[in-house]
Amino acid sequence: MSYATSSDQSQMMTQQPSSANVSAVPDLVRIGQIPTNTAIDIETDVLDPVVHSDTFCRFQFQNKGILHSNSKIVLRVKANASTGFVPVGVGIYSLIQRAALRVGTKTICEIDDFNHYMGYKSMFLSNEHQKQRETYTTGRRVAHKPYYFEDDGNNDFQGSERELQDTAQRLGLDLGVQVASTRTQGISLSDHLFCQTTSSYGPEFALSLQDLFPFLAQNQLPLFMMTEPVTIELFFSDKNSERLCLPSSASATTPSFEIDQSATELIADYQYFPQEMMEQYAQQNANLSFTFADYRLAKRSVSINASGSEASTGQLIVNVGGAGRLVTKLFTSLSDDNVKKASLLNNYHSMSLSREYTGTASDRFNGVLTANIKYNDHFLFPIDVDNSAQQFHQLTQTEGMVPFIAREEYNFEGQGLTGATLSGYEQKDEVSGLAGRFFYQGYKLNRNERINSRGIELYNTWDKLKNSKSAGSNTATLRTYLELIRVVQLQDGKMEVFFA
């Protein structure tokens, strides 16, 4: 049995071999194709956590073979008399508040507010991938399809051939069922039962290690060469409001969703090559160096005026750190602190600005975000960016691919989302639905410079943010993730980690 991985995956690994005859042995820990024809044995261990509570768990690997980066951690939510469902955007990753990979006492990779981090990363999964795979493995299901018009207003697709082929009125979630909708039709969609809690069972999914730790997306750990214990630590989110979402009919209730500790397990795949090859590889590579990307989080609160009197925030300048580091990119989210379990996405979103499409011409507007980045005494853009199309382009350039979301989901412009409901929430709603909930910003630092002692400054002006509360002021949390370059050295079985 063997695992085939793409040969064109980006690599950030360098080696410092202790022998000149390195070409005789293939690179066993590099993710990609091995230029040789050899047998690979896979041994799978099902590991129970060594420590487990409803807020924390820890796993420890056995130091053998080469750890496959696509090993899984299985999590299940306990059965509950109150119906809840995993958030549409992040799925079961909503349970993880922080994830850490440690070797001995050294932290190799750690991401805080991991569930919010996955809200950003999940945008870049294709529709077919989310519909056909992620729906069943992780519970992420932001896949789209056109909702076609029906001539008689019913749900049986009666109409002319032209209307059924090319008259797509709206766009909405693709849950694998036949639907039709206009902007105003209140068609109700039912979520998958395996994504919900009942009195008999709760949702159970598997998390990939390479999603939890970016280090493992680029490298595989040669555990057989390591003498220190390798552990994974997971810190769980709040059970009252951050794990699952509630249907709109039960949004005012306060159930708690606990983790079923009897189901938590790590399914670890260890790869074995012929013994002589692995021994020779260890001898020739007694000193290994891995360069990888790690993420650091900076947070601050943003005030939102009372409903009906929303106004521009004015220019907010936030220092997000990075001093003395090599930073390749950063991305930000702004999540409404008032929107959690009573929504499709929970708090794992990035809110857009308000808009008004009714009234006179002078009354109608789209909100505007004006943004820029300053580092090493220079702005990233010579002129502040206030065009949402250009901001979307910068997001695309940051990740190297287009996010699979609709225009209205990104910047709350246009009216393309369906009025169909899921669990009682309209998909077109800007608070509890999908509209304007994916307004993430990405910035790729293009000068290849080390950040000076002043750090990176983020300039933002939101004009203006909508208050989701019916009365009183509100707050939102601005999260900024910096991608830093770090180096891990494995020498004589001991691992050291430091910033590049």
pLDDT for 489 equals 93
How far is it, in rounded angstroms, from Cα 27 to Cα 66?
12
Check residue 130 and report its DSSP letter.
I
pLDDT for 3 equals 40
Does the pLDDT value for residue 18 go beyond 80?
Answer: no
pLDDT confidence bin for 156, thresholds 50/70/90: very low
pLDDT in tens, 386-426: 999 999 999 999 999 999 999 999 999 998 898 889 999 99
pLDDT for 14 equals 42
Does the pLDDT value for residue 164 go beyond 60?
Answer: no
pLDDT for 498 equals 93
Helix (H) or strand (E) holding 388, with range, is: helix 388-399
Instruction: Dump the DSSP string for 183-242.
Output: SS---EEPPPGGGB--SS---EEEEEHHHH-HHHHHB---GGG--S-EEEEEEE--TTTT
pLDDT confidence bin for 17, thresholds 50/70/90: very low
Grouping H, G, I as helix, E, B as strand and the rest as coil, residue 60 is strand
Does the pLDDT value for residue 36 go beyond 80?
Answer: no
Residue that has been written with the tokens 């068609």 in this structure = 187
pLDDT for 5 equals 38
Six token digits for residue 100: 């850490």
pLDDT for 19 equals 41
pLDDT confidence bin for 25, thresholds 50/70/90: low
Residue ranges in 400-497 assigned as alpha helix (H) = 407-411
Does the pLDDT value for residue 337 go beyond 60?
Answer: yes
Q: Between residues 80 and 150, which one has the greater pLDDT?
A: 80
Give, in degrees to the nearest 5, the angle at Cα 296 between 294 and 297: 145
pLDDT in tens, 285-329: 888 898 999 999 999 999 998 877 778 889 999 999 999 999 999
pLDDT for 149 equals 63
At residue 327, φ and ψ (nearest 5 deg) are: -115, 125
How far is it, in rounded angstroms, from Cα 416 to Cα 168?
10
For the ranges 256-265, 275-284, 432-441, 483-492, the lowest mean pLDDT is seen at 275-284
pTM of the predicted model, to two decimals?
A: 0.90
For the ranges 194-198, 246-250, 468-472, the lowest mean pLDDT is seen at 468-472
Mean pLDDT for the chain overall: 88
Nearest to 459 by CA among 435, 477, 478, 438: 478
At residue 154, φ and ψ (nearest 5 deg) are: -95, -170
Please, which residues have CB within 8 angstroms of residue 64's CB and are 6 or more apart in sequence?
43, 223, 224, 270
Helix (H) or strand (E) holding 111, with range, is: strand 106-112
* Cβ neighbour number for residue 171 with a 10 Å cutoff: 21
pLDDT in tens, 214-242: 999 888 999 999 999 999 999 999 999 99
pLDDT for 155 equals 46
Helix (H) or strand (E) holding 121, with range, is: helix 114-121
Does the pLDDT value for residue 6 go beyond 80?
Answer: no
pLDDT for 454 equals 95
Rg (CA), the chain: 24
* Cβ neighbour number for residue 486 with a 10 Å cutoff: 18
Chain centroid to CA 246:
21
Q: Between residues 405 and 281, which one has the greater pLDDT?
A: 405
pLDDT for 110 equals 95
Question: Which residues on adjacent β-strands are paired with residue 476?
Answer: 302, 336
Amino acid at 363: D
Amino acid at 37: N
Does the pLDDT value for residue 199 go beyond 50?
Answer: yes
Give percent of the chain with pLDDT exceeding 90: 70
Does the pLDDT value for residue 73 go beyond 50?
Answer: yes
